[in-house]
């Protein structure tokens, strides 16, 4: 699972003191879906996210770790830094992607672009849109592109949160090396238990689901849909 939806949920660019961290646990339900046996998919994934804003912009990162019976089998992370461009609703966006598994390393990717962010006055909803130049390290044709969108929507006074991201980027086919376009989106729906009557507001546990929808991503030339059941603790 590759995620950066917190860029929407926490990209309240006018609040310089804003910070947010969370830890998620996802149980994957997609191993027998899509008309094929995805036996190699990990059953459990943990995600650690941090977002912190300051007077210059914001910093965001996440780390995904996949687990099988033998333990952690892969780790992937993304980190980005954004710098405000005056009073415009625009940020200069710098990003790095990379990771490794117990059998190979993900090739590094470096991105630069401009983020447009919109938030309602009460921050009940918002979105970001970031077009980027993407450098695919250690590839014959490293120059590429990526378009990322993120969103968040708080419903019923914050009891439910619908958020997610969508990525579209140019890459190279694993087998043929030809140019290909990859799409992935991961919408999430959370029930925030501390918004229920009688629950301590400090009990920041959420239960929910995520649906990973991808085309040409882990399985080239295929569209894959993989749902999860999830828990999240927000600090």
Q: Is the pLDDT of residue 170 over 70?
A: yes
Question: Structure tokens of 147?
Answer: 């378009």
Nearest to 31 by CA among 23, 22, 41: 41
Distances (CA, A) of 110 to 37, 143, 146, 220, 231: 33, 10, 11, 22, 31
pTM strictly above 0.85 = yes
Question: Structure tokens of 10?
Answer: 């926490």
Q: Is the pLDDT of residue 9 over 90?
A: no
Nearest to 191 by CA among 208, 175, 176: 208
Nearest to 79 by CA among 57, 55, 98: 98
Distances (CA, A) of 79 to 6, 32, 46, 189: 12, 32, 17, 24
Q: Given pLDDT bands bounded at 50, 70 and 90, which one contains residue 202?
A: very high
The answer for residues whose C-beta is within 8 angstroms of residue 193's C-beta and 6 or more apart is 199, 203, 205, 206, 207
Helix (H) or strand (E) holding 8: helix 6-9
Angle value at C-alpha 16, between 195 and 165, nearest 5 degrees: 60
Domains, the chain, with CATH or none: 6-234 (2.40.230.20)
DSSP 193: G
Angle value at C-alpha 128, between 126 and 129, nearest 5 degrees: 145
CB 209 within 8 A of CB 230: yes
Q: What is the pLDDT of residues 203-212, one digit of tens each?
A: 999 999 999 9
Distances (CA, A) of 172 to 3, 141, 176: 21, 8, 8
Task: Give me the pLDDT at residue 27, please.
Answer: 94
Task: Give me the pLDDT at residue 189, please.
Answer: 97
Q: What is the pLDDT of residues 102-158, one digit of tens each?
A: 888 888 999 999 999 998 988 899 999 999 999 999 888 999 999 999 999 999 999
Task: Give me the pLDDT at residue 17, please.
Answer: 42
CB 42 within 8 A of CB 66: yes
Q: What is the pLDDT of residues 34-71, one digit of tens each?
A: 555 566 677 899 999 999 999 999 999 999 999 988 88
Backbone phi and psi for residue 134, each to the nearest 5 degrees, phi listed first: -125, 125
Q: What is the pLDDT of residues 10-22, one digit of tens each?
A: 444 333 346 689 9
Task: Give me the pLDDT at residue 2, please.
Answer: 55
Query: CB neighbours (10 Å) of residue 55?
Result: 7
Sign of the Cα pseudo-torsion (233, 61, 190, 41, in order): negative
Task: Give me the pLDDT at residue 36, please.
Answer: 56
Least confident stretch, 16-30, 84-98, 180-194: 16-30
């Amino acid at each position: 699972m590759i995620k950066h939806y917190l860029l929407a949920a926490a990209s309240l660019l006018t609040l310089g003191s804003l910070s947010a961290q969370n830890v998620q646990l996802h149980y994957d339900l997609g191993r027998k879906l899509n008309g094929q046996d995805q036996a190699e998919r990990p059953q459990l994934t943990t995600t650690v996210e941090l977002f912190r804003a300051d007077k210059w912009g914001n910093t965001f990162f996440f780390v995904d770790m996949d687990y099988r019976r033998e333990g952690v089998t892969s780790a992937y992370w993304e980190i980005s830094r954004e710098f405000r461009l005056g009073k415009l609703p625009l940020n200069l966006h710098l990003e790095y992607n990379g990771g490794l598994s117990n059998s190979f390393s993900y090739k590094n990717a470096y991105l630069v672009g401009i983020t447009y962010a919109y938030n309602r006055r009460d921050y009940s909803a918002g979105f970001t849109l970031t077009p980027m130049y993407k450098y695919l390290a250690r590839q014959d044709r490293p120059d590429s592109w990526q378009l990322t969108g993120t969103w968040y929507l708080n419903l019923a006074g914050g009891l439910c949160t619908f958020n997610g991201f969508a990525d579209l980027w140019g890459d190279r086919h694993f087998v043929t090396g030809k140019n290909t376009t990859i799409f992935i989106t991961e919408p999430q729906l959370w029930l925030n238990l501390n918004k229920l009557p009688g629950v301590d507001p400090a009990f920041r546990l959420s239960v929910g689901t995520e649906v990973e929808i991808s085309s040409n991503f882990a399985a080239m030339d295929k569209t894959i849909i993989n749902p999860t059941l999830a828990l999240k603790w927000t600090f």
